Structure 1
Amino acid sequence: MKIQDLPIVEQLEHAISVVQEGVTVCEADEQLYKEAIFALEQANRTEEAIALALRARKSFPQLRYFELWEALMLPVLYDTDEQIDHYRARYSAGLAELISGYNLDSGDRRAALDAIGRHLNFYLGYQGHDDRKLQEQYARFVHAVMAANYPEWVKPLEMPALRPGEKIRVGFISAHFRDHSVAKLFSGWLRELDRRDFEPFVYHNGQTVDAVTEDIRHITGHFRHMPGVLEPMCQAVAEDNLHVAVFLDVRHRRMMMMSGLRLAPVQCVAWAHPITSGSPTLDYYLSGDLMEPEDAQDHYSERLIRLPGLGVCYPKPIIPRPLLRKSRADFGLGEDRIVYLCCQSIFKYLPQHDDLFVRIAKRIPEAQFVFLALNEAVAKDFMTRLRRAFEAQGLEATDHCVILPLLGKFDYWNLNLVADVFLDSLEWSGGVTTLEAIACGLAPVTLPGRYMRGRHTYGILTQLGVTDTVAHDKDEYVEIAVRLGANRDWRTDVISRMKSNHARLYSDTKCVRALEDFFRSVVVG
């Protein structure tokens, strides 16, 4: 079985056994339950995690977050299409029952605040469906909880008057102002925002700081690092009397809670979380025109703002040369193989698309697909699913598939440099990963989906002006992947044209100028 460092699987299983035994033999302990449920959830043992959350809910009825956790839990990785439908229906029913079970006019409001403060509504968007209705239901619940606890922060706000010479105050809020995809995507906004007209404020709620954090601190005159707190952060935003607040992402507990308040007259959310927030207190969704389908507004509760291009000013990654510290063999890859890099988060890979790898392998016998897994238990489940798909066509998955653990930045770039072709995931596309793959000299194969989250790579290639590897259906996806793998001359030509057009893709400031115009329009009309 080609899952690297397989003994760690056994370590994880042992850890789960220990916490499960602790729950069984020890006096009921909240922290022990949390550790056991989380371990099972992350190991993709969803039904066991749900059962244990239900047991914890009965042992600690006053702790409502166990109830929320149990009702809304979703798998990390799905085994079948039917399993997606099952868990989606379960989530929908659980959310409705959960909301109806709270009386926020009573003592429930503090318990509800504690519950939403511990829950991350993360995996819903990876099922490949239209999530607007469910997102709105959950966001309205969050807003109701926040309004019950902080009525002073949900009232409509007047737009602060601009005195002559005064700048428009824009707040950028995130828990990820560090070496993270959020900061990578949106620090260009901060860097390029015209300081003659705008005064940026940055609010970093995350615990981690690094060189990226310090860089962002230096490019803004107002940097608030308030790790792990909610109320002081809200107070700081409110006291700065912003004209506009921009939540760079709401896929974080405290960010979702804050976005349910009214802390600025105009509040926006950016596309780091490429799905509608559903929040009644987020007014605008800041996206990129090239990634959005024609009917895009229907997918958002917010008013959609289609900034030019990708909507981000993303600098070209500086890939150190020579970076090749590791060979293919170090990654478990063959020197004589055609290596297809499939580096998206493992939960982006849906079972209905496993056939793509099989179809490519039947045409390219030397094809080797390399994936990165969240942990070894999930890797094992994914390999089981792949094996089933390959065996159905008379092939062995382990002859073609390698699953690696998550890699550090330089090892990850090194992996890009030793690969031949980049295969984009369907339904939820690569963003930063695609931008980095192109900088490393890889040509991505992509099939744009129905929703923006499945169209990042399509937008990137469109802005780049090289769309040879954009497919219109799964059959064409396979044809393009096979041609890139088999025809080195064509692959070299595509990559050469991409490199020639890098200036069209990276550090594009047109979106920042459009963002400034948008800010002016909502502040001064």
Structure 2
Amino acid sequence: IASAFLHSQTVGRLYRGIIENLDKDKFEIVIFRASVKRDEMADAIDAAAAKVVALDLGSLNAARKQIAAEEPDVLFYPDIGMTTLTFFLAFARLAPVQCVSWGHGVTTGIPNLDYFISSRYLEPPGAEDHYSENLVRLDGFPMYSLAPGLPRNLPGRAHYGLPEGVALYLCPHTLFKFHPDFDRTLGALLERDADGRLVLITDGFGGAWENKLMERFRAAFGAAAERVIFLPRQVESDFHGLLALADAIIDVPHFTGGYTSQEAFAFGAPIVSWPGEFMRGRVTCAFYRKIGIEDLICGNEKEFIETAYRLAHDKPWRDDLSARIREKSAVLFEDPGVVREMEDFFAWALEKAEEGFFPLN
């Protein structure tokens, strides 16, 4: 298993449970670490492996040799596309079976990656055409996340410096996910709710994305841009409190929330979803379909805006949705079935590779 993000980051949170729960009588797990980041989660992940190899971060050739020396049967990349080392490693044939999953939810275009592991909930009909890899649709989601605990004492608006008496539309996603197409939608939402505030989280990189977005917002919706509030990055407990505090959480349509949406659902925090064409824009929608609640899945911009407005202002409706989501969200966490599915897939793919058979999409 090769990644630079097997620590307290989304990839680590998604895959720690899979690594810990894979049958060790059937699988010898070797972690190939492509970063030096260490924390408690990294230690827990390493403890579940038979061996940990710290890859040479300064030499692609040396890192390839380190992996090849272990003679893996299956080389699994939880993510590809967020760091150059794992991206270029994947061009080499280092194992009979090489596969990637949705830690970064786009196809790689790399010829030596055989499979992309996804879920039937995530993919629309015809999605095999979206991938250079052979698409694998699991019955569950390729993750094993632990449910977060809601803080006992939820902070109020004053804790975050947020105004009272107005609707708060929280869009808590990484700022580089905000496609320019979405600017018009956000502006129309603030026009629909003349007192509403759009709450975002700063990028943590010196404000570069914040400044870029504000330039776009001023151009797209004029004076209403003054009702955009940027909060600093939050510690985990305060972030969870913010999810619970918002009047409406809105998703980004081109590259939706993933683990953030999971966290929100654990607290019963409703999210307005507008699914896109590709898997990366369908994750929140997929979670809703898994739990059997589709009230907040929207099909167009007008529906998205009106649903967000109603969610912020119709408290009985919101409370009902919140209770239903909280009650049903447990199926999104700690699913042993998906671990067995991944075990079966790895064994099947290796058997087929040994037979010289690689199925088409």
- TM-score, scaled relative to structure 1: 0.63
**Is contact 2:255–2:280 with CA below 8 Å preserved after alignment?**
yes
Q: Which residue of 2 aligns with 1:321?
A: 152
Q: Is 1:302 paired with 2:133?
A: yes
The alignment partner of 2:12 has SS state of helix
Q: Which residue of 1 aligns with 2:63?
A: 233
**Is contact 1:424–1:446 with CA below 8 Å preserved after alignment?**
yes
Q: For residue 480 of structure 1, what is the amino acid of its counterpart?
A: T
Larger radius of gyration: 1
User: Residue 355 of structure 1: which of 163, 174, 184 is its match?
Assistant: 184
**Is contact 1:288–1:312 with CA below 8 Å preserved after alignment?**
no
Q: For residue 458 of structure 1, what is the amino acid of its counterpart?
A: C
Task: Give, in whole Å, the separation in 2 of the partners of 1:338 and 1:454.
Answer: 26
Deviation at 1:346, TM superposition (A): 1.3
Q: For residue 68 of structure 2, what is the amino acid of its counterpart?
A: A
Q: Which residue of 1 aligns with 2:235?
A: 408
Task: Give, in whole Å, the separation in 1 of the partners of 2:160 and 2:219.
Answer: 24
User: Residue 292 of structure 2: which of 446, 450, 465 is its match?
Assistant: 465
**Is contact 2:266–2:330 with CA below 8 Å preserved after alignment?**
no
Q: Which residue of 1 aligns with 2:322?
A: 495
Change (3 A) 1:227 1:178: farther
Q: Which residue of 1 aligns with 2:73?
A: 243
The alignment partner of 1:489 has SS state of helix
Q: Which residue of 2 aligns with 1:292?
A: 123
With 477-486 and 346-355 compared, the bigger mean Cα shift is at 346-355
Deviation at 1:320, TM superposition (A): 3.4
**Is contact 1:278–1:302 with CA below 8 Å preserved after alignment?**
yes
Q: Which residue of 1 aligns with 2:48?
A: 219
Deviation at 1:227, TM superposition (A): 5.9
Task: Give, in whole Å, the separation in 2 of the partners of 1:418 and 1:491.
Answer: 12
Q: Which residue of 2 aligns with 1:372?
A: 201
The alignment partner of 2:190 has SS state of helix
Q: Which residue of 1 aligns with 2:28?
A: 199
- What CA deviation, in whole Å up to 9, does each residue of 1:375-395 have, x standing for no partner? 42432231232223323xxx5
Q: Is 1:508 paired with 2:314?
A: no
**Is contact 1:285–1:304 with CA below 8 Å preserved after alignment?**
yes
Task: Give, in whole Å, the separation in 2 of the partners of 1:489 and 1:227.
Answer: 56
Task: Give, in whole Å, the separation in 2 of the partners of 1:323 and 1:241.
Answer: 50
- What CA deviation, in whole Å up to 9, does each residue of 1:43-88 have, x standing for no partner? xxxxxxxxxxxxxxxxxxxxxxxxxxxxxxxxxxxxxxxxxxxxxx
Task: Give, in whole Å, the separation in 1 of the partners of 2:324 and 2:237.
Answer: 25
Task: Give, in whole Å, the separation in 2 of the partners of 1:271 and 1:410.
Answer: 26
Change (3 A) 1:322 1:301: same
Change (3 A) 1:319 1:223: farther
- What CA deviation, in whole Å up to 9, does each residue of 1:285-328 have, x standing for no partner? 1112211111111111110111123222222123332253xx42
Q: Which residue of 1 aligns with 2:257?
A: 430
Deviation at 1:415, TM superposition (A): 2.2
Change (3 A) 1:368 1:243: same
Q: RMSD of aligned C-alpha atoms?
A: 1.8
Deviation at 1:438, TM superposition (A): 1.6
Task: Give, in whole Å, the separation in 1 of the partners of 2:196 and 2:305.
Answer: 12
Task: Give, in whole Å, the separation in 2 of the partners of 1:474 and 1:449.
Answer: 12
Task: Give, in whole Å, the separation in 2 of the partners of 1:354 and 1:473.
Answer: 15
Task: Give, in whole Å, the separation in 2 of the partners of 1:377 and 1:184.
Answer: 27
Task: Give, in whole Å, the separation in 2 of the partners of 1:396 and 1:271.
Answer: 36
**Is contact 2:268–2:324 with CA below 8 Å preserved after alignment?**
no
User: Residue 188 of structure 1: which of 6, 11, 17 is its match?
Assistant: 17
Task: Give, in whole Å, the separation in 1 of the partners of 2:37 and 2:154.
Answer: 26
- TM-score, scaled relative to structure 2: 0.91
Deviation at 1:214, TM superposition (A): 0.6
- What CA deviation, in whole Å up to 9, does each residue of 1:193-250 have, x standing for no partner? 1223222211112111000101101122222233624444322321222110001112
The alignment partner of 2:169 has SS state of strand
Q: Which residue of 1 aligns with 2:89?
A: 258
Structure with more of its chain in helix, by fraction: 1
The alignment partner of 1:194 has SS state of coil
Unaligned runs of 5+ in 2: 353-361
- What CA deviation, in whole Å up to 9, does each residue of 1:343-368 have, x standing for no partner? 11112112222222233233333321
Task: Give, in whole Å, the separation in 2 of the partners of 1:271 and 1:493.
Answer: 32
Q: Is 1:209 paired with 2:38?
A: yes
Q: For residue 38 of structure 2, what is the amino acid of its counterpart?
A: V
Change (3 A) 1:291 1:431: same
Q: For residue 340 of structure 2, what is the amino acid of its counterpart?
A: R
How high is the sequence identity, in percent, across the aligned residues? Answer: 32
**Is contact 2:190–2:198 with CA below 8 Å preserved after alignment?**
no
Q: Which residue of 2 aligns with 1:122?
A: none
Q: Is 1:396 paired with 2:224?
A: yes
Q: Which has the higher contact order (CA 8 A, sep 6+)?
A: 2
Deviation at 1:423, TM superposition (A): 0.4
Q: For residue 407 of structure 1, what is the amino acid of its counterpart?
A: Q
Task: Give, in whole Å, the separation in 2 of the partners of 1:445 and 1:190.
Answer: 32
Task: Give, in whole Å, the separation in 1 of the partners of 2:149 and 2:229.
Answer: 27
Q: For residue 242 of structure 2, what is the amino acid of its counterpart?
A: L
With 362-371 and 295-304 compared, the bigger mean Cα shift is at 362-371
Task: Give, in whole Å, the separation in 2 of the partners of 1:522 and 1:420.
Answer: 46
Deviation at 1:505, TM superposition (A): 1.4
Change (3 A) 1:377 1:282: closer
**Is contact 1:177–1:209 with CA below 8 Å preserved after alignment?**
no
